[in-house]
Amino acid sequence: MAIAPAQLQFDGFYKYSEIADENEGIYWFTLDNVGARYFEPANHQLQTDPGSPFRRTLTAQRRLGKEHMVLRGLIKKTIDEAGTRTELLSDETAFFDCLRDDFNLEVPEIVNLWPALQQRHEELFGTQK
């Protein structure tokens, strides 16, 4: 996993980026206390805009040491020094177990999203087999 050093970009914020599995993740941070209100406009847009990636695709991430796990919809990727492993979650049980066991998220009602997750996966990748 390639990690770019943090660079001062604008308005006192630093940009940290990493490239894992040919995808760049970008994170902005500051050492100043800006308070939650600073983020309210972007937060509102990300939560309410139907085109927002946070509304269109369920995403969970977790870092444990040098391991980075990412769940996007039904696809779980584990990225570490050995490379990238990809797993397609094939049913509600696998999905629920992944959230609980790999991401430490126990939200029983999330299984209600299964039909929508399957539909989104089919829109992006075709019929699940």
The token pair at 20 is: 């894992």
Contact 17, 23 (CB under 8 A): no
Is residue 7 pLDDT above 80, yes or no?
no
A 10 A CB-CB count for 18 gives: 15
In tens, the pLDDT along 97-111 reads 999 999 999 988 988
Task: Please tell me the pTM assigned to this model.
Answer: 0.71
- Bridge partner residues of 18 (DSSP): 3, 25
All structural domains of the chain, each given as residue ranges with its CATH number in brackets, are 1-56 (no CATH), 58-129 (3.30.2140.10)
Could you tell me the sign of the dihedral formed by the alpha carbons of 30, 35, 40, 41, in that order? negative
**For residues 3 and 18, what is the distance between their CA atoms, to the nearest angstrom?**
4
pLDDT for the residue 16? 78
On the 0-12 / 13-18 / 19+ scale of CB atoms within 10 A, 77 is: middle
Q: What is the pLDDT of residue 9?
A: 66
